[in-house]
A and B are shown apart, each in its own frame.
Chain A
Amino acid sequence: MPELDLSYTRYTPESRIRHPITLFKEMWRDLKRSRELAWRLIVRDISAQYRQTILGYFWAVFPPLVSSLVFILLRSSAVMDIKGIDIPYPAYVMMGTVFFQLFVDALNAPLKIVTESKAILTKINLPREAFILSGMGQVLFSFGIKVVLLVGIFIYFNVSVSWTTIFIPVPLLGLLMLGTMLGVLLIPVGLLYKDIQSALLVATSGLIFLTPVAYPPTMEGILGKIMKLNPITPLLMGAKNLLTHGIPGNLTLFFVVFGLTLAFLLIGWVIYRLALPIIIERIGA
Chain B
Amino acid sequence: MHSRMSENLVTVEHLGKKFCRKLKRSLWYGIRDIGSELTGSKRNNVKLRKDEFWALKDINFNIKRGELVGLIGANGAGKTTLLKLLSGLIKPDEGEIAIRGKIQALIALGAGFNPILTARENIYINGAVLGFSKKEMDKLLEEIVDFAEIEEFIDMPVQNYSSGMQVRLGFAVAVNLKPDILIVDEVLAVGDVAFRRKARNKMMELLHSGISVLFVSHSMALMSSLTSRCICLEKGRVVSIGPSDEVTALYLSDSIKKAQDSQKYTEDFLMTSAYLTVPEIFKLKNVYIHNASGEKTNEFKTFENIKIAFEMEFLKRIENVILAVNIRGQVDDAVISSSKLPLNSRPCEGTLAAECEIEKNRFREGNYNIGFFASDHEGGVLYKSHIVASFTILADMTIIQKSDSTQGFMVIDTKWKVL
Chain A positions within 8 Å of B, measured between CB atoms, are 2-4, 6-15, 17-18, 32-37, 40, 44, 48, 120, 122-127, 188-189, 192-193, 270-271, 274-275, 277-282, 284
Residues A2 and B33 in contact, CB atoms below 8 Å apart: no
Q: Return B155 CB to nearest CB of chain A, in Å.
A: 13
Interface size bucket, B side? 35 or more
- Cα–Cα distance between A60 and B88 once the two chains are bound (Å): 38
Give the chain B neighbours of A274 by CB distance below 8 A: 34, 37-38
Chain A residues near B323 (CB, 8 Å)? Answer: none
Assess A278 versus B91: contact at CB under 8 Å? Given A123-B107, A124-B111, A192-B31: yes
A9 touching B94 by the CB < 8 A rule? no
Q: How far is the CA of A75 from the CA of B223 in the complex (A)?
A: 77
Whether A120 contacts B100 by the Cβ 8 Å rule is no
Chain B residues near A18 (CB, 8 Å)? Answer: 40
| Interface segment, one of B121-129, B213-221, B232-240 | B121-129
Decide if B352 is an interface residue (CB 8 Å cutoff): no
| Complex alpha-carbon distance, A150 and B253, angstroms | 75
Complex-state Cα separation, A7 to B98, whole angstroms: 11
**Given A10-B97, A278-B30, do A3 and B133 touch, yes or no (CB 8 Å)?**
yes
Q: Please state if A280 and B89 are interface contacts (CB–CB under 8 Å).
A: yes
- A10-B117 in contact (CB<8A): no
Asked if residues A193 and B125 are in contact (CB atoms below 8 Å), the reply is no
Q: Determine whether the beta carbon of B131 is less than 8 Å from that of A33.
A: yes
Complex Cα distance, B27 from A33, in Å, reads 30
Q: Are B97 and A6 interface neighbours, CB within 8 A? A: no
Chain A residues lying within 8 Å of B99, measured Cβ to Cβ, are: 8-11
State whether A127 touches B88 (Cβ < 8 A): no
B residues apposed to A, CB below 8 Å = 19, 26-27, 29-31, 33-34, 36-43, 45, 84-85, 87-103, 105, 107-108, 111-112, 114, 116-117, 121, 124-125, 127-134, 136
Once the chains are docked, how many angstroms separate the CA of A220 from the CA of B178? 66
Across-interface contacts of B91 in A (CB, < 8 A): 11, 13, 277-278, 281
**The one of B31, B97, B107 that contacts A11, using a Cβ cutoff of 8 Å:** B97
Contact B93 A13 (CB under 8 A): yes
In this complex, the member of A188, A274, A277 whose beta carbon has the largest number of chain B beta carbons within 10 angstroms is A277
Q: How far does the Cβ of A117 sit from chain B's closest Cβ, in whole Å?
A: 9
A281 touches B125 (CB 8 A): no
